[in-house]
Homo-oligomer: A and B are copies of this chain.
Amino acid sequence: MAVDPPKLRLPPYTALRAFEAAARHSSFVAAARELCVTPAAVAQQVKALEAWLGGALFERHSKGIALTPQGRHARPALSAAMDQMGLAVQNLRSEMRGSELHIAALPALAQLWLSPRLRRLRQDFPGVQISVTAMEEPPNFKREPFDMGLFYLDAPRKDVRTVALAKDHLLPVCTPKILKTLRVKGKIRLHGHPLLHDTVWDDDWARWLDATSMHEVDATTGPQFSLYSMALQAALDGEGLLMGRECLVAPYLTSGKLRAASPIRVPLPTGPNLLLPAHRADHKLTQQIANWIQMSFSEAASTF
């Protein structure tokens, strides 16, 4: 019965975070990816936490893991606490660095839509330091320090204000030079040139060919690019036909560097969206820049 108590300490934060991520993904590897560590590290942290608690949180199966009832029950509160923690830190951070703004964006949107407008954006908001980070999936705004996001989404998200910036359409594009070779007796045939593919938007070609009932063209072959902008560059270099997303290729159609290889535009179920985390909703600078982006998009849309 010590008078100066030995302070029963909480388990280390790292262990909690590892557990939370592993529970959320039901996987140590996925959690490890999220946390930027090796799976072994996650496993160790979870094991340490289990030791501290004196009981198991996961059932280990050779293929994957499953939460025990206790673990399942504990997760929501822990996640909420971590969200709140991240939120508090972000608010603090943004308060300290008043005039910084960090945008998360799909690589394609970052490079093809945002990048050309950055100069003007910076001119219109002098003194604001605008950063852009490209990523495939929208980040967890509660945990990661981004002020807004720019992503293709089909449905609005809870916990984030989602503004659809435009409806997007698919249409095949190529250089004018290639276009000529496709014209046979006034009709256009999509043969004789490679189809350029983006690895993420892999099924764009299939979707368009399906919608236009052009089943004679094989959507599965052709070079793959991990970045849409690289596929686009290949198209600009005359290496083949790209299934264009109108929002992204519009400037090249306007300038004449690319041409539509077909008049048929197939609507996409998803389109570019602006994501505004709820906790930034009343942040003035964020609002202003969000408005700027929306305006800029509707201007662009009018040129389609």
Contact = CB atoms under 8 A, between A and B. Distances in A.
Contacts of A96: 53-55, 70
Contacts of A5: 133-135
Given A134-B2, A134-B5, A227-B3, A92 B80 contact: no
B88 A78 contact: yes
Nearest to A84: B81
Contacts of A36: 7, 9
A3 B135 contact: yes
Contacts of A55: 96-97
Contacts of A54: 96-97
A13 interface: yes
B80 A84 contact: yes
A74 B96 CA distance: 10
Contacts of A81: 81, 84-85, 87-88
A140 to B, nearest CB: 11
A170 to B, nearest CB: 23
Copies of this chain: 2
Contacts of A107: 1, 3
Interface residues of A, number: 50
Contact of A74 (B3, B74, B95): B95
Contacts of A143: 10
A111 interface: yes
Contacts of A16: 85, 89
Interface string A81-103: 11011111101110111000010
Given A74-B92, A95-B70, A96-B54, A132 B1 contact: yes
B74 A91 contact: yes
Given A53-B97, A54-B97, A110 B74 contact: no
A71 to B, nearest CB: 8
A159 interface: no
A54 B107 CA distance: 28
Contacts of A226: 3
Interface of A: 1-3, 5, 7-11, 13-14, 16, 36, 53-55, 70, 73-74, 77-78, 80-82, 84-89, 91-93, 95-97, 102, 107, 110-111, 132-136, 143-145, 226-227
Given A5-B135, A78-B89, 19 more contacts: A1-B133, A3-B136, A8-B133, A9-B36, A10-B85, A13-B13, A53-B97, A54-B96, A54-B97, A70-B95, A74-B91, A74-B92, A74-B95, A77-B87, A77-B88, A77-B92, A81-B84, A81-B87, A85-B85
The 7 lowest CB-CB distance pairs between A and B, nearest first, are A13-B13, A77-B88, A74-B92, A55-B96, A81-B85, A81-B84, A53-B96
